[in-house]
Homo-oligomer: A and B are copies of this chain.
Amino acid sequence: MASPVELLSRTNPVFSAYAFYAAILVLKMMAMSVLTARQRFRKKVFANPEDTPAAKGKVKFDDPDVERIRRGHLNDLENIPIFLLIALLYTLTDPSHLLAINLFRAFTVARILHTFVYTVVVIPQPSRALSWAVGYIITGYMAVQVVLSFL
C-alpha cells in the first residue's frame, strides 16, 4: 500500500479529486444561506425582531417557502459533513482510483440535484428521495470500507 504521505498529496489523483469535490460541496452548502436570505427578503419573513426593519418585515417561523429551504439546508448538514470526513479516510484506504473518483463525483452531483428538486424547482417524488439515496449509499459504502480497513 502507498504511504500516507503519498495518499494525502496532490500527486494522488484520488486526493486531488477529493479536495476539488469537497470545495464544490462547501460552495454548494454556502449557496443555501443565500437562497434562505433571498426568500426571507422576498416574503419579508424573518427569524429575529432586530432583522425586520430592513425590509419592513415581520417575525414568522412557518413560511412554507423559507422553511423548505431551511429543511434542505439541514438535510445538507446531516449528510455532507459526514461524507467529507469519511471520503478523506476512504482515500487513506488506497481505493481503486476510477471507483473513488466516480463516487466523489456521483455524490456531488446527487447533492446538487437534491438541492435543486427540493428548493429551487419542486419536482415530484421520488426525485428527491432518489438523489438523497445516492449520497446516502455512497457514504455508507465508504464508511463500511473504512471500518473493514482499520478493524
Contacts and interface: CB of A to CB of B under 8 A. Distances in A.
A59 to B, nearest CB: 9
Contact-residue bracket for chain A: 35 or more
Contacts of A77: 77-78, 81
Nearest to A47: B71
A146 B81 contact: no
Given A5-B4, A30-B140, A24 B147 contact: yes
Given A89-B19, A92-B19, A139-B26, A68 B48 contact: yes
A7 to B, nearest CB: 9
Contacts of A29: 78, 82
Contacts of A48: 68, 71
Given A5-B5, A136-B30, A140-B30, A16 B82 contact: no
21 contacts: A4-B8, A4-B9, A16-B150, A20-B150, A22-B85, A22-B146, A23-B86, A23-B89, A23-B143, A23-B150, A24-B147, A26-B85, A27-B143, A29-B78, A30-B139, A30-B143, A33-B79, A50-B122, A51-B125, A77-B77, A77-B81
Interface of A: 3-5, 8-10, 16-17, 19-20, 22-24, 26-27, 29-30, 32-33, 47-48, 50-51, 53-54, 68, 71, 73, 77-79, 81-82, 84-86, 89, 92, 122, 124-125, 128, 136, 139-140, 143-144, 146-147, 149-151
